[in-house]
Structure 1
Amino acid sequence: MSRDAVARRVYAWEDRVVAPRDRSVVRFEHMQALVDHVWAAEGLRWPPRMRHRKATRATLATGSRLAIEAPDELPSWVLLHEIAHALCDPDDGRAGDHGADFVGLYVHLLVRHARLDRDMLAQSLAEAGIAWNPDARPALLRD
């Protein structure tokens, strides 16, 4: 399956499963504090910096190891999605991948910070045919 097809499956799953269960919104001025908190909770230092950007129809926000770009406000699950990209990025430009490690880290963040049920997320991912690695670790902590 192509990277685009995998990404579309993940986005559809988020719209169907995650978005209805987490309706909280984060204003841009509070996003860096949330990024810093999540980064520290994962045992990491030097979190990505928040950068302001206007949302487009195609892209609401972007995330990589060094920066997360977001509009004036975001649903918190979208910010967690971008933080998961940053956690996956080993500084080689693969931050846009929606593979099993990304989904595993994203599920971990949803459970830890959005208080979603892990078993429900796992079951919904299986039903959607989305592979995930429940043992995924941030790129900066991999051996």
Structure 2
Amino acid sequence: MSRDDAAARRLYAWEDAEVGPRDASRVPFAQLQALVDHVWAAEGLRFPPRIRPLPRQARRTVARATRLSIEAPPELPTWVLLHELAHCLTSTADGASDGHGPRFVGMYLQLLVRHARMPEAALAASLRAAGIAFDPAARPAFLG
């Protein structure tokens, strides 16, 4: 997740105001893969993305993801990991991605509700108030 993406600034501001304050938990790198595997299995999916170290030169990047991998620093807030998992779920192995579009935000909302136990109605209302579109029925991109 890079803070440079102009198209994502509203989403990042929303996260900073609504998501981050609700979840102060942090996961050490050594435990990230187990958490990814757990979330992936709980979503009824197989073949989870692999956790890799974030390159040292990625100084302005918090984390980043594709369908097949998540690059992370030595420690990551749980909600940021769920953000990256939403990218994995809304991307395909050939590189097609929803970016921070409605499918992504819908998947992210679902993950926050199911795995971080955040209040769906409050988050959905705050997304609407921020003018951020989301698909409440979003499904993983690679499921068709």
Give every structure 1 segment of 4 or more consecutive aligned residues whose post-TM-superposition deviation is greater than 2 Å. Answer: 54-58
Q: Counterpart of 1:74?
A: 76
Counterpart amino acid of 2:62?
L
Q: Counterpart of 1:23?
A: 24
Separation in structure 2 between the aligned mates of residue 81 and residue 24 of structure 1, nearest angstrom = 14
Separation in structure 2 between the aligned mates of residue 85 and residue 11 of structure 1, nearest angstrom = 14
Q: Relative to structure 2, which stretch is displaced further, 55-64 or 65-74?
A: 55-64
> Where does 1:1-143 land on structure 2 (aligned, <5 Å)?
4-53=5-54, 54=56, 56-95=58-97, 97-142=99-144
Separation in structure 2 between the aligned mates of residue 84 and residue 107 of structure 1, nearest angstrom = 9
Q: 1:102-134 deviations in whole A, cap 9, x for unaligned?
A: 000000000000000000010000010000000
Separation in structure 1 between the aligned mates of residue 85 and residue 38 of structure 2, nearest angstrom = 11
> Contact 2:51/2:70 (CA < 8 Å) preserved in 1?
yes
Separation in structure 1 between the aligned mates of residue 57 and residue 45 of structure 2, nearest angstrom = 28
**Runs (5+) with no aligned partner, structure 2:** none
SS across alignment from 1:94: coil
Counterpart amino acid of 2:126?
S
**Runs (5+) with no aligned partner, structure 1:** none
Backbone CA RMSD of aligned residues: 1.4
> Contact 1:55/1:71 (CA < 8 Å) preserved in 2?
no
The TM-score with structure 2 as length reference comes to 0.91
Separation in structure 1 between the aligned mates of residue 57 and residue 47 of structure 2, nearest angstrom = 25
> Contact 1:63/1:95 (CA < 8 Å) preserved in 2?
no
C-alpha change, 1:137 and 1:55, in structure 2 (3 Å) is farther
Separation in structure 2 between the aligned mates of residue 116 and residue 70 of structure 1, nearest angstrom = 23
> Contact 2:66/2:87 (CA < 8 Å) preserved in 1?
yes
Separation in structure 1 between the aligned mates of residue 98 and residue 57 of structure 2, nearest angstrom = 17
